[in-house]
């Protein structure tokens, strides 16, 4: 039963009805489209107008032959009868409430009631609000799983927090993200993925108490709102049960699928807490759990709170970096390992704000500030600037007779949410460059955000003559595979591969498999992160002909890059890098 309101009614007043007025009232009773009824204290209809038959399909005789609760939705019976019992003791009050009544065909109709008890009879009027309730439920529930959506979750969270005024318990939010759910969609299809999401929704709902809420935010993200729990420990224990429950196999069609999940937990005992802030905290904790490799739990605590503050501080400074000209590009050649001219050059973003030194400067490494930018609109602004600056530099080099492609890294948002081909075409046209002057580097992780959209975007870019490189190949994998149907020209082996291949048979096998796969597909393989002569020798031994790393050339401003001639093959003489700079170990 929905919420109800009570209105105080004064004593009736007016002239005595005449026979003529009684007849008009009787005609009005028969002709009105609203539902009019009188109900006895024992819960039986005693008088009904014809509108009931049109709405519910039952005759008035059938409706009057049974107690009203037999026609109600089971969930509405107890609260409605309790309200009617209370109303018999306060006859001057008008009760307003909603209930669901069963149609003859088995469907349910939502009725909005106004009723008042007078002596031994309830006088009631009702109106069909089924369409309105359906629209409201659609607006508050996820269309696939029928779970509450974010809007309803926030409303229930506010109510749960308000109840903390009357208890010593806490409210917890569990942010659940399924690890590598996109692999299910890619390998088994979206229909199977949808069935799996429904199965996960049902399992989570079954293990929760009636006072808890399971919501779906979209994609593979779920949130559990748990109220009336004692402490942080109980919230973490619930998170552990959730992870264990999802690891039990799901039967989806002919496939059996188990899911790993990362869960972030936010807990509050403050009735004034902001539900949106709690959700953000749980989200932040979930991402920390995911960084451990998946299947993890993390509580949002004071250390995470300080981390968030630092990130916000860095993001604030980063927003000023472009207008204050604090961003610049360094260029690192991509070189043939046997020696000779560079075959390409990667544009690498650097941030040099004024007034930051020492330990604070370590926070401004690309590995720190780029993930923060990727969580906001900054990544698009920065990406536009990088693409434009790199194209301008390519045009300057071409005027000097140096025609090699400049590689630019593309983020997931740029790849799947923007018209990437149109942006690239505009820059190529503005700088009067052919497509072959540019190479776009994308990571497998970025592609997996939206594989179909990524393939379409890269195919459109490829038609411009731009080459495509897949970055970070082999990162954290025990075997090598390439995303299907991508218009690739180059694969760039993750820096950890070459740096761990010496003495590690598994990593050596992965490296060799990647080279063989590239050769079989007609792609160029680049060994990234070559920093020692031993690593260079191993790359050549494993049949890799192109590399990039500090040993070959440091990232430097454009005027310090040597592209025409580079040292030859490794000999007994000491190998010297072209440029030595102080700084981070970034390729």
Are 75 and 221 members of one domain?
no
pLDDT reported for residue 398: 93
Residue 581 lies in a domain: no
Residue 582 lies in a domain: no
Residue 505 lies in a domain: yes
pLDDT reported for residue 15: 59
Residue 14 lies in a domain: yes
| Mean pLDDT calculated for residue range 242-255 | 87
pLDDT reported for residue 25: 76
Structural tokens at position 285: 């904790």
282-291: b or e for each residue (b if 16 or more CB lie within 10 Å)? bbbbbbbbbe
The domain spanning residue 61 has which CATH number? Answer: 3.30.450.20
Are 286 and 318 members of one domain?
no
pLDDT reported for residue 474: 82
- List the single range of 59-63, 102-106, 117-121, 554-558 with lowest mean pLDDT: 117-121
Gyration radius (Cα) of the chain, Å:
34
For helices 190-207 and 181-188, angle between their N-to-C axes, nearest 10 degrees: 140
Three-state secondary-structure class, residue 410? coil
Beta-sheet strands, E only, within 285-420: 297-299, 327-336, 344-351, 406-409
The domain spanning residue 280 has which CATH number? Answer: 3.30.70.270
pLDDT reported for residue 586: 37
Are 397 and 440 members of one domain?
yes
Are 339 and 480 members of one domain?
yes
% of the chain with per-residue pLDDT over 90? 42
| Mean pLDDT calculated for residue range 237-241 | 93
Residue 263 lies in a domain: yes
H/E element, 142:
none
Are 331 and 262 members of one domain?
no
The set of residues, in sequence order, having a beta carbon less than 8 Å from that of 360 and lying 6+ positions away, is: none
Are 479 and 336 members of one domain?
yes
Of the candidates 328, 489, 349, 481, the one whose C-alpha atom is nearest the C-alpha of residue 405 is: 489
pLDDT reported for residue 321: 85
Are 417 and 540 members of one domain?
yes
pLDDT digits (tens, 9 = 90+) for 379-421: 888 999 999 999 999 999 999 999 999 999 999 888 887 789 9
Taking each continuous run of H as one helix and of E as one strand, the counts in the chain are 20, 21
- Residue 185 pLDDT more than 50? yes
Question: What value does the mean pLDDT of the chain take?
Answer: 84
Query: How far from each other are the two terminal CA atoms of the chain, in whole angstroms?
Result: 63
Residue 210 lies in a domain: yes
Are 188 and 272 members of one domain?
yes
- Residue 584 pLDDT more than 70? no
Where does the pLDDT of residue 577 fall: very low under 50, low under 70, confident under 90, or very high at 90 and above?
A: very low
Last residue of a domain, one of 231, 266, 300: 300
pLDDT reported for residue 582: 29
- List the single range of 4-8, 31-35, 60-64 with lowest mean pLDDT: 4-8
Last residue of a domain, one of 134, 160, 195: 134
Residue 566 lies in a domain: no
Are 178 and 119 members of one domain?
no
Write out the residue range of the structural domain in which residue 184 sits: 141-300
Whether the CB-CB separation of 208 and 224 falls below 8 Å is answered with yes
Q: What is the rounded distance in angstroms from the CA atom of residue 441 to the CA atom of residue 438?
A: 10
Are 257 and 345 members of one domain?
no
Of the candidates 387, 438, 437, 436, the one whose C-alpha atom is nearest the C-alpha of residue 411 is: 387
């Amino acid at each position: 039963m929905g919420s109800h309101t009570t209105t105080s009614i004064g004593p009736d007043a007016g002239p005595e009805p005449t026979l003529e007025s009684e007849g008009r009232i009787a005609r009005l009773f028969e002709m009105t489209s609203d539902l009019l009824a009188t109900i006895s204290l024992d819960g039986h209809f005693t008088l009904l107008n014809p509108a009931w038959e049109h709405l519910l399909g039952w005759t008035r005789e059938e409706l009057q032959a049974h107690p009203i609760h037999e026609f109600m939705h089971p969930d509405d019976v107890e609260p409605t009868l309790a309200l009617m019992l209370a109303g018999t003791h306060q006859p001057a009050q008008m009760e307003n409430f909603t209930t669901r009544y069963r149609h003859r065909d088995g469907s349910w109709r939502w009725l909005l009631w106004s009723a008042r008890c007078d002596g031994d009879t309830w006088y009631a009027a009702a109106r069909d609000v089924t369409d309105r309730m359906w629209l409201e439920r659609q607006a508050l529930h996820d269309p696939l799983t029928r779970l509450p959506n974010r809007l309803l979750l926030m409303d229930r969270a506010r109510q749960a927090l308000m109840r903390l005024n009357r208890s010593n318990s806490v409210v917890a939010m569990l942010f659940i993200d399924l690890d590598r759910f996109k692999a299910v969609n890619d390998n088994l299809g979206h229909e199977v993925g949808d069935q799996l999401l429904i199965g996960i929704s049902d399992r989570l709902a079954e293990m929760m108490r009636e006072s808890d809420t399971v919501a779906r935010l979209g994609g593979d993200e779920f949130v559990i709102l748990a109220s009336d729990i004692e402490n942080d420990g109980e919230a973490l224990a619930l998170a552990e049960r959730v992870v264990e429950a999802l690891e039990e196999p799901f039967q989806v069609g002919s496939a059996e699928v188990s899911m790993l999940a990362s869960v972030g937990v936010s807990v509050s005992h403050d009735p004034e807490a902001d539900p949106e802030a709690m959700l953000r905290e749980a989200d932040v904790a979930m991402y920390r759990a995911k960084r451990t490799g998946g299947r993890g739990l993390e509580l949002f605590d004071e250390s995470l709170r300080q981390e968030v503050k630092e990130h916000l501080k860095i993001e604030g400074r980063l927003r000023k970096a472009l207008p204050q000209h604090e961003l610049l590009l360094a260029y690192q050649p991509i070189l043939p390992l046997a020696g000779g001219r560079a075959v390409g050059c990667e544009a690498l973003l650097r941030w040099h704000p004024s007034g930051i030194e020492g330990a604070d400067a370590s926070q401004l490494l690309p590995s720190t500030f780029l993930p923060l930018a990727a969580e906001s609109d900054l990544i698009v602004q920065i990406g536009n600037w990088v693409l434009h600056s790199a194209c301008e530099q390519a045009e300057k080099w071409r005027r000097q007779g140096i025609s090699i492609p400049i590689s630019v890294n593309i983020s997931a948002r740029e790849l799947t949410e923007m018209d990437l081909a149109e942006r690239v075409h505009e820059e190529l046209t503005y700088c009067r460059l052919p497509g072959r002057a540019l190479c776009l580097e994308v990571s497998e992780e970025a592609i997996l955000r939206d594989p179909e959209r990524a393939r379409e975007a890269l195919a459109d870019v490829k038609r411009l003559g731009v080459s495509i490189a897949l970055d970070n190949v082999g990162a954290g994998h025990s075997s090598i595979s390439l995303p299907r149907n991508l218009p690739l020209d180059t694969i760039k082996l993750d820096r950890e591969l070459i740096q761990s291949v010496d003495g590690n048979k598994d990593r050596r096998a992965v490296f060799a498999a990647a080279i063989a796969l590239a050769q079989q597909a007609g792609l160029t393989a680049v060994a990234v992160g070559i920093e020692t002569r031993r690593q260079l020798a191993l790359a050549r031994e494993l049949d890799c002909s192109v590399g990039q790393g500090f040993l070959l050339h440091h990232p430097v401003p454009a005027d310090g890059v040597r592209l025409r001639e580079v040292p030859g093959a490794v000999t007994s003489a000491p190998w010297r890098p072209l440029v030595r700079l102080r700084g981070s170990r970034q390729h």
